Amino acid sequence: MSEDIERLEASFRGVSFPLESVKGKSGRRAIAHEYPKRDGGFAEDNGGVLNNETIRAVFVGPAAEQEFESLVAALNVAGPGELVHPWFGILQVQVGEVDYEFNNDEFNIARVSFQIYAAGNDFTIERVDSQNDTCEKSDQAKEANLTHFEEQTQELTPEQELTLGESIDNALNDLDNFVADLPGLPKEIGQWVDRLEHAKYSVSSLLAYPGELMREVTNLVQDVGNLVTEMPQSLEVYDQMSNRWKGMSEAYNPTWNSDQAKTQELTYQTLQTAAVIAKVDAIVAAPVTGEDGGFSDSEQAKDASETLNNQLNDLAENAIESGNRLSWRSLRVLRTAAAKDLSERIRQLPNVVVISPRNLIPVALLAYQQTGDTEQRNQIIKRNKLSRPSFITVHHQVEVVKRG
């Protein structure tokens, strides 16, 4: 009996799907030359076959239709996309025809089959799964951050416990204010607020267990990403947290002694690190294509990559200065993994070009010239906030998102 082999979960553009079968084509394009009333002949090698596969997926269950719609939406996005192939790893592929089937005799079942073509490389070339790799490095950084805090708070004086309690109370109030300013009312906010209130009431009882207290607060920080799922708004929330707690870690209270000041600095540095790591998780969890909460174009991803790289670098420097070598190593590794994941996203996202017309030009014509689709006119008007949407005046700089 053969052993079960653990394979990667199939997904396209970040949308997972239950793979049923894969049927592929490869080899050479041989042209047979045969002649009537003559034995033999020869085969001409006319180059390699373009690697392609037909993938079948079957969705079963109450959410089958919603999962089917998510996959079909991802498959219809223009240009190559990232496919997690259970056998060949992470691949860049171009989607071809998509077929789907529903049957009245079957309940909660949706079938999809689609063709894919290798975009640049053969299917057999495997790359590292940057998303899973970044998630692993993020978990290691979280644990290192909390471990250092626990080690530094094992023996606290009554004054230090008081300082710790005040710092945590202030941090929880900050979280409350951050979430209160969020646009709209996410459906998950009720449960999150209940957890926040419970944490506020638990501060005094958990002061004897600082590690558990900090773990509860960092979990709340982590879950803020569930309340804001749109990029880049969700990242801005984490930046606000990070900047707030960075300032608080550097604040000075003349009434405190040196031990109390160190406790405040340690608490807010731990929270600042947790906010930046949670930001990494929010990026990794977002769809690669920019659909349904992801980055809309490569410029957004580039800005996020640069900011995140600086934040992780600063945290690593602070860690080594404070003698926290474990966090220093984990943050450096996380920075490398996050940069690699974001570079993959940047490569797959639509590019932004800046156009400066030399002549008066209709927006619809510019859209057709740059994207081949006049329907992109509205997107250009919205992105550039054009006050006169019919025409673009001479030398007026306009940003255009080019897909594919």
370 and 288 within one domain? no
172 and 62 within one domain? no
* 95 neighbors 116 (Cβ within 8 angstroms): yes
278 and 372 within one domain? no
pLDDT tens digits, one per residue of 170-198: 888 888 888 776 665 566 677 888 888 88
335 and 254 within one domain? yes
* Cis bond upstream, residue 158 (ω within 30): no
214 and 91 within one domain? no
- What does the pLDDT read at residue 113? 95
Token pair 């689609």 is found at: 114
In a domain, 364, yes or no: yes
User: Given pLDDT bands bounded at 50, 70 and 90, which one contains residue 253?
Assistant: low
239 and 106 within one domain? no
- What does the pLDDT read at residue 314? 93
333 and 398 within one domain? no
In a domain, 258, yes or no: yes
Please report, to the nearest 10 degrees, the dihedral formed by the alpha carbons of residues 194, 195, 200, 205 taken in order: 120
Can you give the pTM of this predicted structure?
0.64
- How many structural domains compose the chain? 3
User: Given pLDDT bands bounded at 50, 70 and 90, which one contains residue 269?
Assistant: very high
325 and 274 within one domain? yes
User: CA 282, 116, 11: angle at the middle one, nearest 5?
Assistant: 25
22 and 153 within one domain? no
| Residue 329 burial class via C-beta count within 10 angstroms: exposed 0-12, middle 13-18, buried 19 and up | middle
Residues spanned by the domain of 103: 11-27+47-118
